[in-house]
A and B are shown apart, each in its own frame.
Chain A
Amino acid sequence: MTALLEIEKLEVTFGRTAAVRGASLAVAPGETHCLVGESGCGKSVTALSVMNLLVRNARRRAERLAFQGEDLLKLSDSGMARLRGNAMAMIFQEPMTSLNPAYTVGSQMTEVLRRHKRASQRAATDRAADLLARVGITAPGMRLGQFPHQLSGGLRQRVMIAMALMCDPQLLIADEPTTALDVTVQAQILRLLAGLQRDLGLGLLLITHDLGIVARVATRVSVMYAGEVVESAPTAELFANPRHPYTQGLLRCVPVPGKIRRDQPLGAIPGTVPRVGPDFEGCAFRERCDFADETCKHAIPRHHASTAHDFLCRLPA
Chain B
Amino acid sequence: MIAIEVRNARKTFKAGKRTVVAVDDVSLSVPEGGVMGIVGESGCGKSTLARLVLGLLPADSGDIAIDGQRLADLDRKARARLIQPVFQDPFASLNPLARVRDIVAMPLVAQGRFGKADITKTVQEMLARVGLGKEMGGRLPSELSGGQRQRVAIARALVLRPRIVVCDEPTSALDVSVQAQILNLLAELRRDLGLTYLFISHNLAVVEHVASEVAVMYLGRLVEREPTETLFAAPEHPYTKALLASVLTPEPGLGVPDVGLGDTLPDPANIPPGCRFHPRCPIAEPRCATTTPPLKPRPNGGVECLLA
Q: Which residues of A contact B (CB under 8 A)?
A: 38-39, 136-138, 152-155, 158, 182-188, 190-191, 194, 209-218, 235-236, 239-240, 249-258, 260, 262, 265-270, 272
* A269-B180 in contact (CB<8A): yes
Cα distance, A191 to B248, chains bound together (Å): 11
- A-B pairs, top 10 by smallest CB distance, nearest first, are A212-B248, A187-B246, A268-B180, A253-B180, A182-B41, A266-B180, A269-B177, A265-B184, A255-B205, A255-B209
- With both chains docked as a complex, state the minimum distance between the C-beta of B215 and any C-beta of chain A, in angstroms: 16
* A138-B263 in contact (CB<8A): yes
- Tell whether B145 is near chain A: CB-to-CB under 8 Å: yes
Cα distance, A215 to B232, chains bound together (Å): 21
- With both chains docked as a complex, state the minimum distance between the C-beta of B10 and any C-beta of chain A, in angstroms: 24
* B208-A260 in contact (CB<8A): yes
* A182-B263 in contact (CB<8A): no
Cα distance, A270 to B177, chains bound together (Å): 8
Which of B146, B181, B203, B263 lies at the interface centre, i.e. has the most chain A CB atoms within 10 A of its CB?
Answer: B263
* B248-A153 in contact (CB<8A): no
* A268-B184 in contact (CB<8A): yes
* B248-A216 in contact (CB<8A): yes
Cα distance, A183 to B257, chains bound together (Å): 11
- Tell whether B308 is near chain A: CB-to-CB under 8 Å: no
In the complex, 5 of the A-B residue pairs with CB atoms within 8 angstroms, ordered by the A residue number, are A194-B255, A210-B176, A212-B250, A257-B244, A269-B180
- With both chains docked as a complex, state the minimum distance between the C-beta of B141 and any C-beta of chain A, in angstroms: 15
* A216-B205 in contact (CB<8A): no
Q: Point out the residues of chain A lying under 8 angstroms from B41, CB to CB.
A: 182-185
Cα distance, A38 to B146, chains bound together (Å): 12
Closest to A39 in B: B175
* A38-B177 in contact (CB<8A): yes
* B249-A188 in contact (CB<8A): no
Cα distance, A154 to B263, chains bound together (Å): 8
Closest to B176 in A: A253
The interface residues of chain A, by DSSP majority, are classed as: helix
* B179-A187 in contact (CB<8A): no
Closest to A257 in B: B205
* B250-A256 in contact (CB<8A): yes
Closest to B247 in A: A257
Q: Point out the residues of chain A lying under 8 angstroms from B249, CB to CB.
A: 212, 215, 256-258
Q: Point out the residues of chain B lying under 8 angstroms from A239, CB to CB.
A: 250-252
Over the window 213-248 of chain B, the binary record of Cβ atoms lying under 8 Å from chain A Cβ atoms (1 yes, 0 no) is: 000000000000000100010000000001111111
Which of A137, A267, A272 lies at the interface centre, i.e. has the most chain B CB atoms within 10 A of its CB?
Answer: A272
Closest to A235 in B: B252
* A215-B248 in contact (CB<8A): yes
* B256-A262 in contact (CB<8A): no
Closest to A249 in B: B177
* B263-A216 in contact (CB<8A): no
- With both chains docked as a complex, state the minimum distance between the C-beta of A36 and any C-beta of chain B, in angstroms: 10
Chain B residues 172 to 206 lying within 8 A of chain A, measured CB to CB, are 175-181, 183-184, 187-188, 202-206
- With both chains docked as a complex, state the minimum distance between the C-beta of A105 and any C-beta of chain B, in angstroms: 15
- With both chains docked as a complex, state the minimum distance between the C-beta of B42 and any C-beta of chain A, in angstroms: 5
* A260-B205 in contact (CB<8A): yes
Given contacts A138-B264, A253-B177, A268-B184, 19 further A-B contacts (CB under 8 A): A183-B248, A184-B259, A184-B261, A190-B248, A191-B256, A215-B250, A215-B251, A215-B253, A236-B252, A236-B253, A253-B179, A256-B249, A257-B247, A260-B209, A265-B187, A266-B180, A269-B180, A272-B145, A272-B148
Q: Point out the residues of chain B lying under 8 angstroms from A270, CB to CB.
A: 181
Cα distance, A258 to B175, chains bound together (Å): 22
* A184-B242 in contact (CB<8A): yes
Closest to A218 in B: B252
* B177-A215 in contact (CB<8A): no
- With both chains docked as a complex, state the minimum distance between the C-beta of B129 and any C-beta of chain A, in angstroms: 16
* B243-A183 in contact (CB<8A): yes
Q: Point out the residues of chain B lying under 8 angstroms from A152, CB to CB.
A: 265
Q: Point out the residues of chain B lying under 8 angstroms from A272, CB to CB.
A: 145, 147-148, 178
Which of B42, B202, B258, B261 lies at the interface centre, i.e. has the most chain A CB atoms within 10 A of its CB?
Answer: B42
Q: Which of A158, A183, A186, A235 contacts B204 (CB 8 A)?
A: A183
- Tell whether B56 is near chain A: CB-to-CB under 8 Å: no
Q: Point out the residues of chain A lying under 8 angstroms from B265, CB to CB.
A: 152, 154-155, 185
Cα distance, A203 to B243, chains bound together (Å): 30
Over the window 77-93 of chain B, the binary record of Cβ atoms lying under 8 Å from chain A Cβ atoms (1 yes, 0 no) is: 00000000000000000
Q: Point out the residues of chain A lying under 8 angstroms from B184, CB to CB.
A: 265-266, 268
Cα distance, A251 to B204, chains bound together (Å): 17
- With both chains docked as a complex, state the minimum distance between the C-beta of A142 and any C-beta of chain B, in angstroms: 12
- Tell whether B1 is near chain A: CB-to-CB under 8 Å: no
Cα distance, A269 to B259, chains bound together (Å): 33
Q: Point out the residues of chain A lying under 8 angstroms from B243, CB to CB.
A: 183-184
* A214-B250 in contact (CB<8A): yes
- With both chains docked as a complex, state the minimum distance between the C-beta of A50 and any C-beta of chain B, in angstroms: 23
Q: Point out the residues of chain B lying under 8 angstroms from A262, CB to CB.
A: 208-210, 212, 228
Q: Which of B146, B209, B251, B259 contacts A266 (CB 8 A)?
A: B209
Over the window 132-158 of chain B, the binary record of Cβ atoms lying under 8 Å from chain A Cβ atoms (1 yes, 0 no) is: 000000000000011110000000000
Cα distance, A235 to B212, chains bound together (Å): 33
Closest to B245 in A: A187
Closest to A262 in B: B209
